[in-house]
Structure formats: C-alpha cells, structure tokens
Structure 1
Amino acid sequence: MNTAVFIGRFQPPHLAHLETITRALERFDRLIVVLGSAYCYPSAKNPFSAEVREAMIRACLGADAARLQFVPIADDYYNDPRWFHTVRTAVEVLAGPQARISITGYDKDESSYYLHGFGDWPFEPSGVVSPLNATDVRNSYFGDSADWKAMVPEAVRQYMEQFAATAEFKRLQEEWKTIQHYRALEQRYPYPILHVATDAFVLAQEQVLLVERKGALGKGAWALPGGYVEPRETLLASALRELREETGLALQAQHLKATQAFDYPGRSLRGRVISMGHFFDLQDTPPPAVRGQDDAARAFWLPLAGLERHQARFFEDHYQQICCFLGLTPHKPIEPQRKESK
C-alpha cells in the first residue's frame, strides 16, 4: 500500500495544509499525519492539543478522513536522531511491514530539513506553494483581527471561534500580548538580544522539585525553579538564588551533581534564552518542606513515577531538561493499533 507521511505542527491547520492533505490523498492510498509538538503545555505558539488538531483536520475532509491516520509526537530538541527514530517507529507501526512509505510536504527553508532525514523514505513534493503560515494565523487570532478567518478551512474556523469564547483563550491571548511587548522592546536595540538563565533540577528520594508558574507566560504550567542571571553573579549562584527565592529551599554548592546548557534556539517564546541547568541530588534525604513564593504560585515535589504521565503540564523544555539529566526519552509513544484503510 502506498503511504504518504505529512509532518507538521498544524497550530492551527490552514488552507495550505488542507490542500497538501487533499493532494496526497489523490496520489496515495493512505496518509499518515504526524502531529508535532504533542504533549506540551498550551502556549501562544502551541495553543491546540493533538486531539483537537486531529479533530479539526478530520472535520475538513468528510469521507476522505477515513484514509487518514494520525500519530502525535513530542518535541525532542536535544536529540535529533532519537526524534527521527521515534517518528519512523510510530509511522511503521501504523503503516505495516509491506507499506511503501514516502514523505510529502513543502521544502520551504532550513526548517524543512526533516523532509530529507528518513533515509529510504523518498521525498515527494506536495506541489503546494503558498505564503500562508500558522504564525500569521495565530498573530491575527490573538491580536483580535478577523484576517485569520480567510486563512483557515471553514471547519477550523468554527473550532477556533468556539475556543475564543473560553477562559483558556484569554490566558493565551495575555501570553501572546506579553510576548509582543518583549518583541517591541527588542526592536529598539541595534543587535539581537541573547538572555542567560538558570534552572535548578532538585532530586530527593526519587522526587523532583517543581513550581507552578503564576506570571502571564506559561501561567499554571509546571516548571523547574529558575530565572535570569543577574549581572554580578555566577551561573551557580543564580541557580541557588532562584531556587531559594521561588521555593524557600536553601542548598549548598556541594549538592551539585551535574550541569548542562540547554540552548535550542526556539526553546522559549521570550526570545533567545540559553539556560544552564543545574542538577542537585539530595539522594536519600527526605524531600525538604517547600512553599511557592516570588514568581511561583506554589512549590511541590512530584514522584518520578508520575513524570511521563504529566508531560503536558511542563513549561518550555523543562520536561526535556529533566529527561536529559536522568537519561530518559522525552516521550515513548504508546504503539498505536494498526487499522486497515477503508
């Protein structure tokens, strides 16, 4: 069976996405849509869950939706080969051993490098060339403009209009406005601004210390204690200070087990933010009492056994930071059941 694979974030699906899907269904027996940036906390960049994005796309296609299959894939910023392997494994489970698999899409710029990263999967250009992009749709949507309505299919418009009446939309709109404020400030400088931050990963008896954010950016998300480095402090001093300010936990440098820079260019909506992660291991020490303060609405300990189950609650790349320090895979997708196309 000839199977095409179309990878995207679809935040939200727009008219060019739908045209690519329609053309693929005309040329292939089946289309597998890979929904990127799955299992992440809703943000102004990723407002819709994988389930909602799948429902949007299916609602646009009618009977043709029966030849679509979907697989959600988490981001894996710091291990590209592992991300390719995760995608390939999930697709092959759906497609079956005898499937002839091709990858389709539009090779528009350097961000499309993944189209040529699957070895023996040939790239079949979609033939769709469009100036449409989801960033413009979101900017119009959160910016209270009606322009976005002409950029998306009718079924998607209906979903988005319903979502615009929710409290979650208001939260994301406030986040979007905060980001626009940051962007406007950066325009006043003659060179790109690079921010340096620190995060503290504290482990005690197989429990990780987390805070719940209360500011406009990622409000309600779970995060590692952390923040920007002050002008006259070292990275370690910054991590210890932020830890103390946000949770009340005062640690000493001897608890430090490892450090790692987290520098994926798109890791933060705030701009170019490089964070130095600090891993403090308290080993068998019982988790100390903590309380949320400063930028944290609350502080709490989460057992590592519940980490993956709560992946979608984490701010930015903080879940991935924990996985990097512990040697874990950011997400091991449940193998989907293979379905026969109708």
Structure 2
Amino acid sequence: MRGLFPGRFQPFHFGHLSVVKWALERVDELVILIGSVNDSHTLLNPFTAGERIEMIRNSLVENEIDLRKIFIIPVSEILISSMWARQVMSLAPKFDVVFTRNPLVITAFKECGIKVIVPPSFNREKFSSTKIRKSMLSDDKTWEELLPDSVRKFIIERDLVSRIREIAKSDKQ
C-alpha cells in the first residue's frame, strides 16, 4: 500500500519528519508531495521547490529512512481544491491513502473517493513552519532547534534566513 503526504514544507521540520515516520509504519511506500511549487521568494513560500526537495531528502537520509520507500514530487497549486486533488492523482504515483491534517485537503480527497487518515499533531504548537519563519525574521535562534540538523545546516549554508529577511523589507524603508 502507498500513502501520500502533501505539504508546503516551508521549511521541513521535526513535525513533518514525525508524520513521515508515522505514515511509514502504516504503508509500504510514501509519496511526499511538495505543494505550491510555482511560488517562492515570498514570506509564505520563501524556499524553492528544489530547495525543499533537498531539505526533505537530506533529512530522510540523516534519519536513516529508506529512500527506496519514498517518492518526493513537486506539484503546482490550483486554487480549486477538488481540481487540485484530481491533478495530484494524475501526476503522482498511484496512492491508496492520504495523510493530512489540512481540512481542505481532507475534503478534496474524500470527495475523490480517496481514504484520508489524520495523523497525530506531533506537538503542532511547537513545530509550525509559520512560527519557524517568524523566528527567522527576528534574531531569535529558536528556529534552529525545531529542524533536523541537515535542514538547519542547509538553510545556514545557503544563507536562506537572509533571503527571508530581505523579502520582508518594504520598498518604503
């Protein structure tokens, strides 16, 4: 059986990693679907699809997850949820179940007849990409402890925090 785990992964953090491990206890293979690939260099989506693919892959290798069980695919956004779900079904390797907590994604896949399993929250209050990006905007370094080492190093080595801070500046400054 194969599952699908969709997300933006901006960035990939310990909560995401926990869902991957949890899902792999329930399926033989997992498709990690990177959404919003047509958007980058914004406060909501600061990282490119390629950067997120590298972050995820590096984290899986670091955590000794068998990459033979993983597909990582990028998919563009369609703002009509039911059309997006059908697009995913046509572009992704065939899957039997979707792992998500997102209400829109749950509804879209259920309407397409796909089984949805809601994973545990895995300390969602702490592991939130939105909070991590906000921490990066300030001089608060707490974001570093919320990411797998390989993701933290990737962001630091490529100076991606500076990108986020640059994006946040107003042209009126």
Instruction: Flag the structure with more relative contact order, 1 or 2, with Cα contacts below 8 A and sequence separation at least 6.
Output: 2
Q: Which residue of 2 aligns with 1:19?
A: 18
Larger radius of gyration: 1
1:45-56 mapped onto 2 (5 Å cutoff): 45-56=44-55
CA distance in 1, matches of 2:143, 2:103: 24
**C-alpha contact 2:18 2:122 (8 A) present in aligned 1:** no
Q: Give the match for residue 97 of structure 2.
A: 102
What is the CA–CA distance in structure 1 between the aligned matches of 2:41 and 2:70, rounded to whole Å? 25
Q: Does 1:44 align with 2:43?
A: yes
Opposite residue 57 of structure 1, the aligned amino acid is I
Give the CA deviation at 1:87.
Answer: 1.1
SS at match of 1:156: helix
**Regions of 4+ moved over 6 Å:** none
Correspondence 1:128-143 to 2 at 5 A: 128-130=121-123, 131=125, 132-143=127-138
CA RMSD, aligned part only? 2.0
Instruction: Check whether the contact 1:6–1:34 (CA below 8 A) recurs between aligned residues.
Output: yes
Tell me what 2:30 maps to.
31
Tell me the residue number matched to 2:118.
125
* Paired residue type of 2:107: H
1:39 Cα deviation from its structure 2 partner = 2.1
Per-residue Cα deviation, 1:175-219 (whole angstroms, up to 9, x for no partner): 2244xxxxxxxxxxxxxxxxxxxxxxxxxxxxxxxxxxxx48xxx
Deviation at 1:15, TM superposition (A): 0.6
1:2-57 deviations in Å (ceiling 9; x for gaps) = 01111100000111000000111122110001101102242122111112111111
Counterpart mapping for 1:296-307 below 5 A: none
> Quick one: distance in 1 between partners of 2:81 and 2:114?
17
**Partner AA of 2:35 in structure 1:** G
The verdict on how the C-alpha distance between 1:15 and 1:120 changes in structure 2, with shifts beyond 3 A counting, is same
- Note if 1:144 corresponds to 2:139: yes
Once residues 8 and 51 of structure 2 are traced to their aligned partners in structure 1, the CA distance between those partners, rounded to angstroms, is 12
The structural deviation recorded for 1:143 is 1.6
Q: Secondary structure at the match of 2:97?
A: strand
Query: Counterparts of 1:171 and 1:35 in 2: how far apart (Å)?
Result: 20
Unaligned runs of 5+ in 2: none
SS of aligned partner of 2:35: strand
The answer to whether the Cα contact below 8 Å between 1:3 and 1:30 also exists between their aligned partners in 2 is yes
Task: Report if aligned partners of 1:19, 1:128 keep a CA contact under 8 Å in 2.
Answer: no
Counterpart amino acid of residue 172 in structure 1: I
Alignment of 1:268-307 (within 5 A): none
Number of aligned positions between the proteins: 165
Answer whether contact 1:43 1:175 (CA < 8 A) is retained: yes
Whether 1:75 and 2:77 are equivalent positions in the alignment is yes
Say whether 1:175 aligns with 2:170.
Answer: no
Mapping for residues 121-270 of structure 1, pairs under 5 Å: 121-130=114-123, 131=125, 132-164=127-159, 169-178=161-170, 215=171
Query: What's the secondary structure of 2:66's corresponding residue?
Result: helix
* TM-score of the two chains, using structure 2 as the length reference: 0.85
Normalised to the residue count of structure 1, the TM-score between the two structures is: 0.45
Higher normalized strand content (fraction of residues): 1
Letter in 1 for 2:50: E
3-state SS, counterpart of residue 70 of structure 1: strand
Distance across 1 between alignment mates of 2:136 and 2:163 = 13
* Paired position in structure 1 for 2:104: 113
Q: Is the 8 A contact 2:14 2:147 kept in 1?
A: yes
Q: What is the CA–CA distance in structure 2 between the aligned matches of 1:160 and 1:34, rounded to whole Å?
A: 20
1:65 counterpart = 2:67: yes
Deviation at 1:129, TM superposition (A): 3.4
Tell me the distance in 2 between the aligned counterparts of 1:126 and 1:171: 32
Query: Structure 2 CA distance, aligned partners of 1:49 and 1:171?
Result: 12
In 2: Cα distance, 1:16 partner to 1:172 partner: 21
Give the distance between the partners of 2:169 and 2:72, measured in 1 at CA.
32
